[in-house]
């Protein structure tokens, strides 16, 4: 016989609920909750599910455009029109705490969860990205976490059969013990195939489909909404789910086939909070009620309690509301795919989420109050004390470089700048034959072809269309955000948009993952608040509205919080194949041009604040980051695209981490023509007319709004004229050719063999891991 524990203040606290929240629950129910109901409120009112500390801030994001079909907060993912009746669904999510506890399964199930968010919308997933943050690789524990996370991402994506096309990886002590694992997925569908997660139609049956429920992943959403300590990690090892990518592939195919029949009234994946979230949210969206019986839910462990069944986050499960009278179609399709299914309940008109077990009433909660009326907090915000010292920093005590060649090599070997090939070589980035630009350039590019789409009811892909080209990038320089949350967040958006522009793409929309520490700390909440303001302003400037995303707070351990990391993923459209542009130099004799100013002389730190150079060479993480003028940045992007569309650009690479020196080196060494076969092509650069007073700032300063392009000399005059008409600074700085990178300046000439640059850049992470 089941005996639930008594509801005590200690038990309430253990569930992450405050006394005031508990009183609010009692007021909603008109009584004290039972143990299962307490657990349900605990997960649904956690930060991970309710955004109770951030919802007021998120309202500041731009979320509308004439292309948005499903907007932020409406469903599991946003959807944007791309023409010809086609649309893309995309979103980014975090699996930070689970990955810190169990790196392989934590990362793997993060990938599985974001894929489900996409096909729940009726879209076929076609590619994935990731954004990762770790401590320094000198630590054996960090190497273990890094290896486990990358292996988990590779395992799930490769087995499922989805290309992982792009990403970013940074290393910093602030992430020691609390890595960030942010995963993104994009899918494709026709407008008429959009599926909704609403429990519509009173009397419609509710089906559970997918593998049986186990005890893995219990209360994972609540675990993700508390500080990460050794004790909490050990206690919550069971909050990490175990994924099966082959099962998910079958579930996806069965769900897409079922959606094509037209018998589905609503569909929702069982992600965070599992069966709890999927039932109450679908009812709340539709303004209906829902009733289920747990005795009908497939269970893979004996004697599971209602608490365990409702809070389990076992993977690869879906909840489907079926039009009454069409139950047989569900059974036929899921039997065909050899997948478990069960009819577990029905839609009601009561507005209540009712859960029974063998007919015994277990849960009776108003669905909308549970899903939509979590308490909202307006936290205190206070500027962090450390920012005063950041603003005081000057270059007076930093001697100019006398070893620029060694500094360049050191920067290229720095793990945050070095090639991430050790990571992406573990991913299948060619599966499904849609990859156009693979990892290693400014943006990935994927083509949308006929078989990218889910089938229509008639068994076809629908009317023919011209293949679409989608560019994708993900970015965030968290050091900038730490040193200036507002400006750093703006730069994160600008760099993402700049990467798309360098690939020939026009931004369509943005999804973000806000990774921060404990919001109860006023200084951390200040970081969060200012970052959101910066992101919002950036997205408005580039007409790239936010279509959804994720908030991940409490990312800290006993040593302190992570650097504030508002990760930005942006998606863009490339209108023609000939516009696709990559970052590496192409032909001997091409002219190298810097679009934008060589250096921002109005910046007292000359672009050195928060720079990779200061961190790597001088061991300093300080100084006001470079300033960003969004109007100037937008003008640069529009002008660059105009040059590309006119056929005047051979290559384009944004100037960011490591400054102009690293950018030029990457243009020379980053092309791979076969496995372990780089194509190295040199450059001779003349910066003798630069106004820079310091060589280190000239080479490694990170002034914003700069792109290095190469141009066929026969088209140079046309390119210069186009740039002049658009008011863009056009600086001819050199030519492509040879086997050296030579940079002349008024200070000295820097000359390095390309092979000596490529080796530390290409192999640094692999050597650290091996």
Phi, psi of 357 (to 5 degrees): -140, 110
- Cα–Cα distance for residue pair 498/583, rounded to 1 Å: 12
What region, left, alpha or beta, does residue 623 occupy, with left being phi > 0 and alpha being psi -120 to 50 degrees? Answer: left
Give catalytic status of residue 48 as yes or no: yes
Q: Which of 400, 408, 395 is nearest to 695 (CA)?
A: 400
What does 380-409 look like in DSSP terms, one character per residue?
-----THHHHHHH--STTSPPPS-HHHHHH
Specify which residues 711 forms β-bridges with. Answer: 591
- Counting Cα atoms < 13 Å in the Cβ hemisphere of 19 gives 2
- Cα–Cα distance for residue pair 315/308, rounded to 1 Å: 14
Between the CA of residue 206 and those of 17, 258, 346, what are the distances in Å? 30, 14, 5
Place of tokens 């350039």: 441
Q: Which of 443, 429, 423 is nearest to 506 (CA)?
A: 443
Between the CA of residue 102 and those of 15, 76, 105, what are the distances in Å? 22, 25, 6
Number of C-beta neighbours around residue 246 at 10 A: 12
Number of C-beta neighbours around residue 740 at 10 A: 17
Phi, psi of 759 (to 5 degrees): -60, -55
Burial readout 75-101 (b: 16 or more C-beta within 10 A, e: otherwise): bbbbbbbbeeebbbbbbbbbbbbbbbb
What does 695-744 look like in DSSP terms, one character per residue?
HHHHHH---SS-EEEEE-GGGHHHHHHHHHHTT--EEEEEEE-SSEEEEE
List 95, 97, 155, 653, catalytic entry: 95
Quote the crossing angle between the two packed helices 754-769 and 659-669, to the nearest 10°: 90
Extended strands (E) in 235-329: 264-269, 289-293, 318-322
Specify which residues 549 forms β-bridges with. Answer: 512
Give catalytic status of residue 95 as yes or no: yes
Q: What is the DSSP letter of 213?
A: B
How many helices, marked H, and strands, marked E, lie in the chain?
27, 30
- Cα–Cα distance for residue pair 712/484, rounded to 1 Å: 40
Judged on CB neighbours under 10 Å (0-12, 13-18, 19+), 588 is exposed
Contact between 120 and 197 (Cβ < 8 Å): yes
List 48, 155, 429, 758, catalytic entry: 48
Place of tokens 């002389």: 601
Contact between 126 and 186 (Cβ < 8 Å): yes
- Cα–Cα distance for residue pair 629/634, rounded to 1 Å: 9
| Residues marked as catalytic | 48, 95
């Amino acid at each position: 016989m089941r005996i639930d524990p008594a509801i005590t203040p200690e038990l309430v606290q253990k569930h992450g609920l405050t006394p005031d929240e508990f009183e609010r629950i009692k007021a909603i129910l008109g009584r004290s909750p039972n143990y299962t109901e307490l657990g349900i409120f605990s997960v649904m009112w956690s930060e991970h599910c309710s955004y109770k500390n951030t919802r007021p801030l998120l309202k500041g994001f731009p979320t509308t455009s004439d292309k948005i079909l499903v907007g932020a907060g409406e469903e599991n993912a946003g959807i944007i029109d791309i023409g010809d009746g086609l649309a893309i669904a995309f979103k980014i999510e975090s699996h930070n705490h689970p990955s810190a506890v169990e790196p392989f399964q934590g990362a793997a199930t993060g990938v599985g969860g974001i894929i489900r968010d996409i096909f729940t919308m009726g879209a076929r997933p076609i590619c994935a990205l990731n954004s990762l943050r770790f401590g320094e690789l000198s630590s054996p524990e960090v190497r273990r976490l890094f290896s486990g996370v990358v292996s988990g991402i590779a395992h799930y994506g490769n087995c499922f059969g989805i290309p992982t096309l792009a990403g970013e990886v940074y290393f910093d002590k602030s992430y020691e013990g609390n890595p960030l694992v942010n995963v993104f997925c994009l899918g494709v569908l026709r407008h008429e195939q959009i599926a909704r997660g609403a429990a519509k139609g009173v009397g419609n049956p509710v089906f559970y489909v997918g593998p049986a429920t186990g005890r893995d992943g219990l209360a994972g959403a609540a675990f993700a909404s508390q500080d990460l300590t050794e004790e909490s990690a050990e206690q919550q090892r069971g909050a990490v789910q175990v994924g099966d990518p082959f099962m998910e592939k079958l579930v996806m195919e069965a769900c897409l086939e079922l959606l094509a029949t037209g018998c589905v009234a609503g569909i929702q994946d069982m992600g965070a909070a599992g069966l709890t979230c999927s039932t109450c949210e679908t009812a709340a969206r539709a303004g209906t009620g829902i009733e289920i019986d747990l005795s009908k839910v497939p269970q893979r462990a004996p004697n599971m309690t209602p608490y365990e069944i409702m809070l389990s986050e076992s993977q690869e499960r879906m909840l489907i509301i079926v039009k009454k009278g069409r139950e047989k179609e569900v059974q036929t399709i899921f039997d065909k795919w050899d997948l478990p299914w069960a009819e577990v309940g029905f839609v009601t008109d009561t507005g209540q989420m009712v859960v029974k077990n063998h007919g015994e009433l277990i849960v009776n909660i108003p669905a909308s109050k549970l899903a939509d009326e979590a308490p909202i907090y307006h936290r205190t915000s206070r500027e962090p004390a450390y920012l005063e010292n950041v603003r005081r920093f000057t270059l007076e005590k930093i001697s100019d470089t006398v070893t620029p060649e060694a500094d360049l090599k050191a920067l290229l070997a720095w793990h945050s700048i070095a090639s991430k090939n050790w990571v992406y070589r573990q991913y299948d980035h060619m599966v499904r034959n849609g990859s156009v630009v693979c990892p290693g350039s400014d943006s990935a590019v994927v083509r949308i072809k006929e078989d990218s789409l889910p089938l229509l009811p008639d068994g076809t892909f629908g009317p023919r269309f011209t293949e679409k080209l989608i560019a994708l990038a993900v970015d965030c320089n968290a050091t900038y955000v730490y040193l200036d949350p507002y400006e750093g967040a703006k730069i994160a958006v600008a760099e993402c948009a700049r990467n798309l522009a360098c690939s020939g793409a026009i931004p369509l929309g943005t999804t973000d993952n806000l990774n921060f520490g404990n919001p109860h700390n006023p200084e951390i909440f200040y970081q969060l608040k200012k970052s959101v303001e910066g992101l919002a302003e950036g997205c408005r400037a580039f007409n790239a509205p936010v279509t959804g995303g994720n908030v991940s707070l409490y990312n800290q351990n006993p040593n302190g919080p992570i650097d504030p990391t508002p990760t930005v993923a942006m998606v863009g459209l490339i209108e023609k194949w000939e516009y696709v542009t990559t970052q590496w130099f192409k032909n001997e004799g091409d002219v190298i041009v810097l679009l934008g100013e060589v250096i921002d002389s109005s910046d007292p730190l000359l672009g050195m604040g928060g720079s990779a150079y200061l961190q790597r060479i001088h061991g300093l993480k300080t100084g006001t980051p470079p300033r960003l003028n969004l109007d100037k940045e937008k003008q640069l992007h529009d002008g660059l695209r105009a040059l590309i569309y006119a056929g005047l650009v051979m290559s384009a690479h944004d100037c960011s981490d490591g400054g102009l020196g690293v950018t030029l080196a990457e243009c020379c060494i980053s092309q791979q023509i076969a496995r372990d076969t780089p194509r190295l092509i040199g450059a001779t650069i003349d910066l003798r007319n630069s106004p820079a007073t310091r060589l280190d700032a000239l080479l490694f300063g990170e002034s914003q709004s700069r792109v290095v392009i190469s141009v066929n000399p026969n088209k140079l005059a046309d390119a210069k004229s186009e740039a002049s008409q658009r008011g863009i600074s056009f600086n001819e700085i050199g030519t492509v050719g040879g086997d050296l990178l030579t940079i002349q300046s008024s200070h000295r000439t820097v000359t390095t063999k390309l092979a000596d640059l490529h080796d530390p850049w290409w192999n640094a992470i692999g050597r650290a891991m091996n």
